A and B are shown apart, each in its own frame.
Chain A
Amino acid sequence: MASRDVVAYRSPLTTALHVAAGLFVAVYLAWTILPIFIMFVSSFKDLLEAFKLPAVGDWGGVLVFFDFTPTAKHYFNLFGQLNFATYFRNSLAAALGSAVVSVVLGSMCAYALSRIDFRGKKDLFFWIISTRMAPVVAVMVPLYAIFRNLELVGTLPGLILAYTTFNLPFAIWILKGFFDNVPYAIEEAQMCDGATRLQAFRSILPLVAPGIGAFLVLCVLFAWNDFLFASIIGSGGAKTLPVATRELVQPQNIQWGSIMAAGVVTTLPMMLLGLLIRRYLVTGLTMGAVRE
């Protein structure tokens, strides 16, 4: 704030407020990071060590948390005995497949929508966005019935198609905003130079490429993190990481070490991708309503 220099004046009250603000942020950070940190550390603990807790009220005993010998056996267990390499591949194929399908079809549609006007365009738009907003469970009831008839339940193509129900409308909606910002004059000039319509469309793609890339990543993220579709539509032949992790919870024997390791395996790639597209995150998560 430019004028802060002029009125900056430290009363005891403002100092107290600043200290309180700093404290609040510190506590919030601890609260945000702790679950992730505990997941990460516990994935390297032996089961007995992971269950060690200080006595109730023994605040000094917190250090017990760090009292362990690191072991990677849960990771070996996941990829050795529990077949997680396959589930990882399934997750990747389903997420990437639906993201590519959505972004390719979506960018064509978004481009056309941004270039012409026609009657009922607003209604078409509303239909597209309401498809994205529809509750997953509600969509799944009829989708399950249809897929069962088509024998798509438990297959990767079925899962990709299911993910496309929320990724395609997302891609159309958000990419239209991007094409709206590209002046038509560029294509017009291209076509004057003898480019065909398709070449003209291709010529503006580099301009929107960063956005398209970011939203492709976001589509991957949405699909990767899904559990409901995967548990019903993908069950059987197309088990993904979240479903496989959830299945480690068994009534008699909960393999916490493996669950935490699987959590790290599932979460880490998405956190890295999230950092990669940090700039587009707000736009993507608010369906383009808010931009940074």
Chain B
Amino acid sequence: MAARTGGRFDLGRAATADAAAAVLPVRHVAGVRTIDYAPARLNPQPSRSYYFWMMAPAIVVLAAISLYPFFWLVWMSLHNVEVGAGPDTFVGFANFERLFTRDRKFWNGWSLLLQYSAMCLSLQIVLGVLLAVILNGSRYEKILVTVILMPMMMAPVIAGLVWYYLYNSTFGWYHWLLQSAGILGETSIVGSTSTAMLGLVIVDVWQWTPLITLITLAGMKRVPRDQLEANMVDGAGELRNFFAIVLPNLYPFLLIAILLRFMDNFRFIDVALTLTGGGPADATNILPVYLFDVSFQYFKLGRGAAIALTLLLVTILLGMLLVRLFEGPQSRRADMGSEG
């Protein structure tokens, strides 16, 4: 690994000299072995502009498809933009004012989004960690983990459709199961305001618990063995070992998992759109779904942009937190030495 200080490359010089000696012509002048070498070519370092040119295409493309749209988004949020409704007019902060003061669905959307995420995450963490603890070090760990991560590969919209079928009140197997167990009545789980959210949570738990298990398993492999053994010598059982040593070591990993899942709940609404479309009676109208409806059902793009900006802002704040954590659990980036 190139140990770098202050942007210069130090390590590797020794290796370079060796490599150079191996290829440069060796001559014998008057019995003395000399080596021809051109000092200017030793230790070459491409100019900085070379690296900037390599970066340029990606940065330009990325700016075109993310920075430029971002300014559009800001512009749109200050205008009344409606598809097929004449020219866009400047309205100042009216879109935001409407959201913050009069739009009940906006606040309802945020509160539902938080409820939804909280329910999903708490279930996923409990199930995922439990599963990881049981599977860790077991004989069948590899094959079982491979099986349980299958749902993650499924397109969310397909998952939504399959569960729509399973939940169906006349021919859905899961509905039959819940009905036979006496939990549900005639109405499907996604058909009533009190249970619809739970229906969405179940799908998310089904699809994304394996991610928590995978992350936890990766974390458990890094629990310092000596700490565990020291604790056991002190007479701790497996259970106490878990709570005293394993779990605290897992916290940073779990935090990453929580943040990632939280942001994914902002990003993906495929399941909600397929299963409930925000209904019944707005019971599952989480903010991204509401945003989708405002923008692409009613085509009020100006108001949509204002909602999108608030969503983006929260995502960016969460992202900052996540980037902080990247340097945490494995200090992987720290030992690269390049980001001082």
Contacts and interface: CB of A to CB of B under 8 A. Distances in A.
Interface of A: 1-3, 7, 21, 24-25, 28-29, 31-33, 35-36, 38-39, 42, 50-54, 56-59, 65, 101, 105-106, 108-109, 111-118, 121-122, 124-131, 133-146, 161-162, 164-165, 168-169, 172, 177, 180-181, 183-185, 188-189, 191-193, 197, 201, 221, 224-228, 232, 241-242, 245-246, 249, 256, 259-260, 262-263, 266-267, 270-271, 273-275, 278, 281-282, 285-292
Contact of A135 (B41, B127, B176, B311): B311
A193 B19 contact: yes
A33 B52 contact: no
Contacts of B171: 50-53
B73 A138 contact: yes
Contacts of B154: 36, 225, 267, 270-271
Nearest to B229: A3
Interface string B50-74: 1110110111011001111110110
A127 B316 CA distance: 9
Given A56-B180, A57-B180, A184 B12 contact: yes
Interface of A is mostly: helix
B101 interface: no
Contact of A137 (B48, B50, B295): B295
B163 A35 contact: yes
A183 B1 contact: yes
Contacts of A111: 54
A189 B333 CA distance: 25
B332 A177 contact: yes
Most buried by B among A125, A168, A228, A259: A228
Contacts of B338: 114, 117, 180
Contact of B9 (A59, A184, A289): A184
A35 B52 contact: no
B149 A112 contact: no
Contacts of A274: 149-150, 152-153
A141 B153 contact: no
A188 B158 CA distance: 49
5 closest residue pairs by CB, A with B: A185-B12, A109-B58, A138-B308, A184-B2, A225-B155
A38 B154 CA distance: 14
Interface stretch (B27-35, B193-201, B214-222): B214-222
B301 interface: yes
Interface string B296-336: 10000100110011011001101110110110011011001
6 contacts: A25-B144, A38-B165, A106-B58, A227-B156, A228-B269, A242-B155
Interface in B158-200: 158-159, 161-166, 170-171, 173, 176, 179-180
B249 to A, nearest CB: 13
Given A1-B228, A225-B156, A189 B301 contact: no
A263 B153 CA distance: 12
B33 to A, nearest CB: 20
A28 B339 contact: no
B26 interface: no
A172 B58 contact: yes
B148 interface: yes
B128 to A, nearest CB: 10
Interface in B217-268: 217-219, 221, 225, 228-229, 232, 253, 256-257, 260, 263, 266-268
Contacts of A260: 162, 165
B68 to A, nearest CB: 7
A152 B69 CA distance: 14
Given A137-B295, A267-B155, A274-B150, 20 more contacts: A3-B232, A32-B150, A117-B4, A135-B267, A141-B304, A143-B69, A169-B62, A183-B1, A184-B4, A185-B12, A191-B44, A192-B19, A192-B42, A246-B161, A256-B165, A285-B211, A285-B214, A289-B260, A292-B214, A292-B221
Given A65-B173, A112-B54, A145 B81 contact: yes
- Give the bracket for the number of chain B residues in contact with chain A: 35 or more
A291 B146 contact: no
Contacts of B152: 274, 285
A133 B263 contact: yes
B179 A56 contact: yes
Given A109-B57, A137-B295, A115 B274 contact: no
A102 to B, nearest CB: 9
B148 A227 contact: no
A1 B246 CA distance: 13
A182 B137 CA distance: 31
Contact of B73 (A57, A142, A169, A221): A142
Contact of A180 (B20, B151, B210, B336): B336
A197 B46 contact: yes
B7 interface: yes
A109 B65 contact: no
Nearest to A35: B162
Contacts of A290: 215, 218-219, 253, 256, 329-330
Most buried by A among B1, B2, B50, B58: B58
A288 B326 contact: yes
B267 A32 contact: no
Contact of B16 (A56, A188, A225, A263): A188
Contacts of B320: 126
Contact of B51 (A115, A168, A192, A267): A115
Contacts of A21: 134
A2 B65 contact: no
Contacts of A31: 206
Contacts of A263: 158, 161-162
Contact of B57 (A105, A128, A273): A105
